[in-house]
Amino acid sequence: MPEHWANLDLHLDVNLDGSRLGRSLEDALRAAARAGRLPPGTRLPSSRALAADLGIARNTVADAYGQLAAEGWLTARTGAGTWVTETPTLAAAAPVEAAAPTAPRFRYDLRPGTPDLSAFPRREWLAAARRALAGVADHVLDYPDPRGLAQLREALSGYLARARGVDVEPDRIVVCAGFTHGLALLVEALRGRGASAVAVESHGLPEHRAVIADGGLRLAVLPVDSDGAVPDEAVLGGAGAALLTPAHQFPLGVTLAPGRRRVLTEWAADTGAVLIEDDYDGEFRYDRHPVGAMQALAPDHVVYGGTASKALAPGLRLGWLAVPARLLDEVVAAARGAGGGPDAVSQLTLAEFIASGGYDRQVRHARLAYRRRRDELVAMVGHGAHGVRVAGIAAGLHALIRVHSGQTEAEAIAAALRRDLAVAGLADYAAGQAAAGLVVGYARSLT
């Protein structure tokens, strides 16, 4: 028996309790991978061998392997076996988005997810903080309302209505520490209502899939085509919710077509399921007016999620959810439980920044700057010798560059790295099989 197996056995002994085996095996493997006890690159026994070893059904093992592959912990190569994922791992490395705080290793870091941090309006933000703190009563500095401060929910209700067409009164807004934190609250609320699975798009942030899986819900994977997520009934059937990026699919860049929006909201209305709209870059549309939020079509069935991470800075840890009334109590209970909401001073400052027009001004400036950088990127790539295709550029802070036929994705990324240029690949975001492609963020200036 190879060394790795012995290691695996050790930890499964601890965790398998003889009941609900599939779940326990899955949990044990996930925990071991997360904590590094199963290091990246470890080859797992075949499902047949492990099943025999543990005296359980082969399907139980195969299901656990399949789920963990969907979450990105394991990589299966057909006919060759199953490995603990080498890179990017959620366990051993910070998520791609979190890489920047350590010293940048590349001259040009074009991995997506981070806006132009040099554009953060430090002076205006501090001025807003000063005005905000001058005007509030002491009790605002107490343990905060788990929904967030009333001042900020009021300001967001107005802003979201005019900027994104979102239909929400302040009482149904829950302020959170960025969208991923908001998603964790939603997962807890959904599990409390008896949901067992969440449909996700075939490509998206692995952090989001991990939050769903860590929260005890299964992932069901929706295909994505040029009209956005495909409302596949077989996938949606068992799901209590679907996580979507309607305005600008991440990372594929397509917009969810009106017909699809209708079908999906009808599905939610008919089944009592919830659509989760991740509007991570909805303010940044270049080709025409912004695509309005899907939430406005069905405010009782769509949770709208937004963030200040793109317009201001991820470091502020400020996001928001517009929550249907029927889900509100559970989401607020989840927010109260773990106590991880944003601080009062930042909330007051953002409220003042929105109310004084500073936020709109910042979005306008950023939109112009990003559009210019997108045009530069398209021009650069267009001048390359390989005739590559650039897609998904009608909006947002990233583009998708299809790899030409003579190259694998890994070869293309390696070629970029040799030129001191860090980019991400579609495989970094795929819930299953991925076409080859480079995901290039253009928010940060190249010059």
Task: Report in angstroms how near the CB of residue 303 gets to a second copy at its nearest.
Answer: 16
Task: Report in angstroms how near the CB of residue 115 gets to a second copy at its nearest.
Answer: 9
Q: Does 447 bind a second copy (CB under 8 A)?
A: no
Q: Considering only residues 287-306, where is the footprint of a second copy by CB under 8 A?
A: none
Q: Does 326 bind a second copy (CB under 8 A)?
A: no
Element (H, E) at 440: strand 437-441
Q: Does 31 bind a second copy (CB under 8 A)?
A: yes
Do 373 and 226 touch, CB atoms closer than 8 A?
Answer: no
Give 142 or 270: the residue with its C-beta nearer to a second copy.
Answer: 142
Task: Report in angstroms how near the CB of residue 398 gets to a second copy at its nearest.
Answer: 15
Q: Does 47 bind a second copy (CB under 8 A)?
A: no
Binding region for a second copy (CB under 8 A) out of 49-57, 126-134, 415-423, 426-434: 126-134
Task: Report in angstroms how near the CB of residue 14 gets to a second copy at its nearest.
Answer: 5
Q: What are phi and psi of 400, to 5 degrees?
A: -110, 125
The conformation of residue 290, written as its DSSP 8-state character, comes to P
Q: Does 129 bind a second copy (CB under 8 A)?
A: yes
Beta strands in 11-67 (DSSP E): 43-44
Binding region for a second copy (CB under 8 A) out of 167-175, 335-343, 355-363, 413-421: 335-343
Contacts of 43 (CB under 8 A, 6+ apart): 2, 4, 81, 82, 83
Q: Considering only residues 130-169, where is the footprint of a second copy by CB under 8 A?
A: 130, 133-134, 138-146, 149
Give 338 or 414: the residue with its C-beta nearer to a second copy.
Answer: 338
Give 344 or 431: the residue with its C-beta nearer to a second copy.
Answer: 344
Q: Does 338 bind a second copy (CB under 8 A)?
A: yes
Do 245 and 280 touch, CB atoms closer than 8 A?
Answer: yes
Q: Does 98 bind a second copy (CB under 8 A)?
A: yes
- Which structure tokens are listed for 274? 């919830």
Q: What are phi and psi of 81, to 5 degrees?
A: 130, -170
Q: Does 271 bind a second copy (CB under 8 A)?
A: no
Torsion of CA 255, 291, 268, 326, to 10 degrees: 140
Q: Considering only residues 343-362, where is the footprint of a second copy by CB under 8 A?
A: 343-346
Task: Report in angstroms how near the CB of residue 265 gets to a second copy at its nearest.
Answer: 24
Closest CA to 248 of 214, 201, 212: 201
Q: Does 333 bind a second copy (CB under 8 A)?
A: yes
Contact pick of 78, 118, 405, 433 for a second copy (by CB under 8 A): 118
Task: Report in angstroms how near the CB of residue 34 gets to a second copy at its nearest.
Answer: 5
The letter for the amino acid at 178 is: G
The letter for the amino acid at 107 is: R
Q: What are phi and psi of 173, to 5 degrees?
A: -95, 135
State yes or no: cis peptide before 223, omega within 30 of 0: no
Give 113 or 358: the residue with its C-beta nearer to a second copy.
Answer: 113
Contacts of 324 (CB under 8 A, 6+ apart): 172, 274, 299, 300, 301, 302, 303
Do 286 and 394 touch, CB atoms closer than 8 A?
Answer: yes
Q: Does 372 bind a second copy (CB under 8 A)?
A: no
Q: Does 204 bind a second copy (CB under 8 A)?
A: no
